[in-house]
Amino acid sequence: MSRLLPMAIALAAAVAIGAGIGLLPAGWVFVAKPLTTVLLIALAWPRGADTPKLRRLVLVGLVLSLAGDVALLWPKEGFLPGLVAFLLALTTRTPAAHAERAADAIA
């Protein structure tokens, strides 16, 4: 399973990009783009058990990113909600990144 999930993420991302630039049917982006983020959440889910606060911040950030991805599938109606979701995601990932760097400096 450890090798399949990253490969599935890469495939879903490639399909989303292909659909986004017109190489694949445009409707595929509605499945592939959110699926890529869901698979990233699945990859992150079991990680970080020894640092629960950091794990929680990263997972919340990824879920908010998923909300932003879904909102932006409808650019006109979803722009502001998507922007807010990504801004909130950034506010969770930034402290997580700083916490990780601080932990690395101590180790």
* pLDDT, tens digit, 9 for 90 and up, residues 70-84: 999 998 999 999 999
pLDDT at site 100: 62
Amino acid occupying residue 89: A
Share the mean pLDDT of the chain.
89
DSSP state of 26: G
What is the percentage of the chain residues whose pLDDT exceeds 90? Answer: 68
* Number of other residues whose CB lies within 10 A of the CB of residue 103: 12
Residue 24 binned pLDDT confidence (cut-offs 50, 70, 90):
very high
Tens-place pLDDT, residues 26-40: 999 999 999 999 999
Q: Which of these, 94, 29, 104, 13, lies nearest to 60 by C-alpha position?
A: 94
Of 96 and 52, more confident: 52
Residues 63, 24: Cα–Cα separation, whole Å: 26
- Whose CA is closest to 69, among 99, 96, 92, 41? 41
What does DSSP assign to residue 27?
A: G
